[in-house]
Amino acid sequence: MSAGSITDVAGVLVGHHHRIGDGWATGVTAVLAPPGTVGGVDVRGGGPGTRETDLLDPSNLVEHVDAVLLCGGSAYGLAAADGAMRWLAERGRGFRVGAAAHEVVPIVPAAVLFDLPMGSWLNVPDASFGSAASAASAASAASAQPPAEGSVGAGAGATAGRLKGGVGTASTVLGTMLGTVLDTGHTVGAVVAANPAGEVIDPATGLPWLPWVAADLGLVPPDPAQVRAAAAAAPPGSSLNTTIGVVATDAALTKAQCRRLAMVAHDGLARAVRPAHSLFDGDTVFALATGTAAAPDGPVAVNALCAAAADVFATAVVRGVLAATSVAGVPAYRDRYPSAFSPRSIQRG
């Protein structure tokens, strides 16, 4: 399967805004959804920081989501959603509550990760970060380039075990991925801000835990001396971490089916990170279904979408770590294991 990006799901846009340096190492990633997108969420970590997740319960009123924000700054970073809401409201996007064009309430679920030790403690995202990331997502529509990966947006201050974390993305079309038993033609993509307390890289090999991800991304076993040196390194910062992300599909799904998509995407997180879903992580996955393609034909097709969601989420977690660059003295994968990169390995970011 091609690594791809979440923007391969037609209509889904991604934008980043961050500050790095002068006491800053944090940011926001905005995922802008096309009108009519259905949303869901599943929270597995023991220390989540979230906004509007109750609204996404299938039993509650609102069906559609305008954007999802992935934010640094711990709970402080939830303020970024205020800026995204205002940006969307100025463009008439939101749940209509009155007759006038501006009488809307934008639906912007959000989740945060813990990156406070990477900069000065209260240098955190505010509403201006949310509006800037939203504007960047809209501007990206004019570009044919996939979203930037690595130490950008919500991944600016992320760490992953002993290494620098970051933003990663991936996609697939059902029928082309490893193990797919049903060719529906639907696209499934994910974008992840990988900031786990656990390890994404096996310290015994210097490669991701999942061999097929390493092979798909063109990694080769790194030099044993690099592996030994990296295994002896102490993890940076705090054990208070979190991996947050969005999985999206062009299939027409209900809110309940979106929630299932998010639930199974967590399997990809658990495959890519060891350990995952700890008391110290706030692991949260949102799901978006744009409905630009047909609804899946029965539960077997829904199950195939869920299986694809787990695989692209796992790949996106790994890509976020591979694409990261060093920030605030925290080494990146490419610093610790430079010999692992073959000519076709991931290099964008």
pLDDT of residue 184: 74
pLDDT of residue 176: 56
Q: Is the pLDDT of residue 349 over 50?
A: no
Mean of per-residue pLDDT scores for the chain? 92
Q: Is the pLDDT of residue 145 over 50?
A: yes
User: Residue 35 and residue 299: Cα distance in Å, rounded?
Assistant: 26
pLDDT of residue 82: 98
264-287 pLDDT tens trace: 999 999 999 999 998 888 999 999
Q: Are 109 and 65 in contact (CB under 8 A)?
A: yes
User: Element (H or E) spanning 221, and its range?
Assistant: none
Instruction: Please report which confidence band the pLDDT of residue 2 belongs to, taking 50, 70 and 90 as the band edges.
Output: very low
Percent of the chain with pLDDT over 90: 81
303-342 pLDDT tens trace: 999 999 999 999 999 999 999 999 999 999 999 999 999 7
User: Residue 284 and residue 276: Cα distance in Å, rounded?
Assistant: 11
pLDDT of residue 101: 84
User: Residue 179 and residue 288: Cα distance in Å, rounded?
Assistant: 23
Which residue ranges form the domains of the chain, and what is each CATH number?
6-141+152-340 (3.60.70.12)
235-275 pLDDT tens trace: 775 667 899 999 999 999 999 999 999 999 999 999 999 99
As given in the structure block, the two tokens for residue 106 are: 């934008």
157-180 pLDDT tens trace: 999 999 999 999 999 998 754 444
**What pTM was computed for the model?**
0.94
SS3 223: coil
